[in-house]
A and B are shown apart, each in its own frame.
Chain A
Amino acid sequence: MPSQLNKAAVSIIPGAGALALATLYLIAMLRVESQTTILVLLGIGAAVVVVAHWLGWLAPVALSFQERDDALARLAVVAVVAIAGYFREDHFVLLLLCTVLLYTVATLGLTIQFGYAGVLNFAGASFFGIGAYTSALFTQHTTVPHLVVLLVGGIMAALVGCLLLLPVLRTRGHYAAVVTIAFALLLKTFLEVNDVLGGPQGLKVKGLSMLGWSFNDNIEIGHLEMSFYVSYLAASLLMLIGAFVIVRRLERSWVGLNLDALRLDETAARCFGLNIVRWKVTAFLLGNFLIGAAGALYGMLVGFVQPNSYTFADSLIFVSILLLGGIGNPWGVVVATVIVVILPEKLQAIQEYRFLLYAALVMMVLLFRPEGLLPRPVRSYLPGWRP
């Protein structure tokens, strides 16, 4: 790798090629219905990855994603738009894609918390739910613009997260994890007995509307008819772009360095002036903000929210996405979310056993590739820059 780093510029082609292949593969996967075809496709996908790895073709891909990150991120946006255009009339697929995008935003929040600052959060789905509940309350009872509601959803998740700050800061590792698990269980019970918040039935959430344009109406442009989910997909994509930029810039800054330093060695970090509390709080609140904002939009997307939608099991899905994708690598989070969300929906046979599948996947990854599918590369502050 050092020899490759010394070249003038890393080519974008391997990354772009891999992205194009992945896009076509995803379209095929989302299109086919027959279970045998899906299994065959899965087999082909796995085989291609294994063979490419074997032939050493994955290293240039990883390198171009590392060095030409910004350009490839733009291409990835184009890819999402292409997929959405292909499935423009298919409600189900579009809903699935929106879920992927918003789950990615949430797990990017967890990446800041756990991947960078090392603060375990097993209540990710709870904060996602808090965002959804916030958008339910605000869209039903106020006339606050919906764009603001999304922000408020994030802020509410961060504020409620403040309740956890003291116990999280005073405990380490497993103990901090137990604190967040306890919080998730308490929150669910609280929501179930609270009549104002709809009790076990939950609340309805009004659909997103902006500048007099309701997102819940189908779109007609000339003869082109599109599912209303296309507008949600656009909103989710914009949110994901925002979250991705925040996480990327955070990692490529002194703040990202601070978070890594305190995660890896708190004592040494303190001896070099780091205020541990300040940076852990920053990471926790910022992460929760992203999770809550994603939850608020997800609430509008599905139209209702209830205590059972966002349980400890869903938090585990978020954590398994993180472990599967590669802790601290936002691209890994994207890939892992696609796998974890889409696979059980397409393979109906395993839908009931999906938690078993996640558990098996996470164990396989931890055993054979402990750094995740896409391990986090060494930090480069300015992509493509070299001394």
Chain B
Amino acid sequence: MMLGAVDANASTGAARATDEPLLAARGLTKRFGGVAALDDLNLDVRNGEILGLIGPNGSGKTTFFNVVTAIYSADAGTIAFDGTDITRAASPAVYHAGISRTFQRSRLSLPLSIFDNVMIGNHKRLNQGLWFNLVRRRAFTAEFKANFAEAQALVASFDPPLATRMFEPIAGLPMIDRRRIEICRALISRPKLLLLDEPSAGMTHDETQQLMENILGVRDRMAGLTIVIVEHEMAVIERITDRCVVLNFGRKIAEGAFASVAANRQVQEAYLGLQ
């Protein structure tokens, strides 16, 4: 199954990784009718790495994210995260365990402000008690101000001008800012694992470059953050990932550093249809 050579010391990120995988999928299968979107998939995500998940359209990359975050339930197989089994956990539990994600078609709440959207991602760190929220306004005010400062600093680390517009609705913002806010929403709760689903979709080449700088910056600031990124832009994958996994028809066909994966004959066949 595993054809690409596993490159042990591909980059600095991998050097930080420990042996125990942060996320381990075993025999993971998801069928839609007769189509197996994930077919007996075994996949490890190592601590601290940036893993690129690539493959042709329909190869099961987004389905993998959706199964991990329990938007879909797996038909077979297991997912372990940080030592615990999360195969049957519901989406909120997966989030509480420390996995955050972005969506291929950005799922921000357009009428809400930038701050509101970022705070939606901070659910587990906010006091959700009805009494606290309705009656203890002084305590709420303190919590609000602390969280505002944190959210503003996070947005500013992506784009300083954006952080001056925290109470403007998302609806008027360009795509790159929406992507930034979506990533901020996923990061504000300080997850252990960040799943990025095609962050460059719908952006120009320059915007993609800027966003990738942002993502690399985040990884440097947030020690121990592990990222899985689904991406079609091979330049992006080459630039930011430590390791790649290639999917085709829901199966893993190759794994390793980008260069070795790109040289793999089966990968070339899957992408280009070479015989």
Contacts and interface: CB of A to CB of B under 8 A. Distances in A.
**A and B physically associate:** yes
B155 to A, nearest CB: 11
A387 B185 contact: no
A261 B109 contact: yes
Contacts of A269: 120
B128 interface: yes
A264 B109 contact: yes
Given A249-B133, A268-B103, A382 B128 contact: no
Nearest to B91: A270
Contact of B111 (A257, A264, A275, A387): A264
Contact of A275 (B71, B92, B185, B189): B92
Nearest to B112: A260
Nearest to B169: A378
Nearest to A328: B111
Residue in B91, B95, B152 whose Cβ sees the most chain A Cβ within 10 Å: B91
Contact of B167 (A270, A273, A274, A380): A380
Contacts of A282: 130
A271 B109 CA distance: 14
Nearest to A276: B92
B119 A254 contact: yes
B265 to A, nearest CB: 37
B134 A260 contact: no
Interface string A225-268: 00000000000000000000010011001110110110011011
Nearest to B121: A272
B185 A260 contact: no
Contacts of B16: none
A270 B92 contact: yes
Interface string A304-346: 0000000000000000000000000000000000000000000
Chain A residues touching B, range: 20 to 34
Nearest to A375: B111
B127 to A, nearest CB: 7
Given A254-B119, A269-B120, A249 B127 contact: no
Given A271-B71, A381-B144, 14 more contacts: A2-B168, A250-B133, A255-B128, A261-B112, A264-B111, A264-B112, A265-B109, A267-B107, A270-B90, A271-B91, A272-B100, A272-B120, A273-B92, A378-B167
A379 interface: yes
9 contacts: A250-B134, A254-B119, A258-B123, A260-B109, A267-B91, A268-B103, A273-B123, A378-B113, A387-B148
The 10 A-B pairs with the shortest beta carbon distances in the complex, nearest first, are A253-B133, A270-B91, A273-B123, A264-B109, A268-B107, A273-B95, A273-B92, A255-B133, A254-B126, A261-B120
For this complex, into which size category does the number of interface residues on chain B fall? 35 or more
Interface in B130-148: 130, 133-134, 137, 140-141, 144, 148
B168 A378 contact: yes
Nearest to B103: A268
Contacts of A250: 133-134
Contacts of A254: 119, 126-128, 133
Given A268-B103, A272-B100, A255 B92 contact: no
Nearest to A263: B109
Given A261-B120, A378-B113, A379-B116, A387 B133 contact: no
Interface string A354-387: 0000000000000000000000001111100011
Interface string B28-63: 000000000000000000000000000000000000
B143 to A, nearest CB: 8
A273 B96 CA distance: 6
Contact of B134 (A253, A268, A381, A382): A253
Contacts of B179: none
Interface centre among B109, B141, B166, B169 (most CB of A within 10 A): B109
B178 interface: no
B159 to A, nearest CB: 16
B266 interface: no
Interface centre among A253, A269, A282, by most chain B C-beta atoms within 10 angstroms, is A253
A381 B167 CA distance: 10
Interface of A: 2, 5, 246, 249-250, 253-255, 257-258, 260-261, 264-265, 267-275, 282, 378-382, 386-387
B165 interface: yes
B244 to A, nearest CB: 25
A2 B113 CA distance: 13
Contacts of B141: 382
A231 B100 CA distance: 55
Interface in B144-191: 144, 148, 152, 165-169, 185, 189
Q: Quick one: which of A250, A254, A271, A381 has the most chain B CB within 10 A? A: A271
A382 B115 CA distance: 13
B144 A272 contact: no
Contact of B144 (A5, A268, A382, A386): A382
Contacts of A260: 109, 112, 116
B91 A387 contact: no
Interface in B97-124: 100-101, 103, 107-113, 116, 119-121, 123-124
Contact of A274 (B92, B100, B116): B92
Nearest to B123: A273
User: Which of B100, B121, B133: most chain A Cβ within 10 A?
Assistant: B133
B134 A246 contact: yes
Nearest to A380: B167
Contacts of B168: 2, 378
B87 interface: no
B200 interface: no
Contacts of B137: 249
A270 B165 CA distance: 26
Nearest to B90: A270
Contacts of B140: 253
A387 B147 CA distance: 12
A282 B92 CA distance: 18
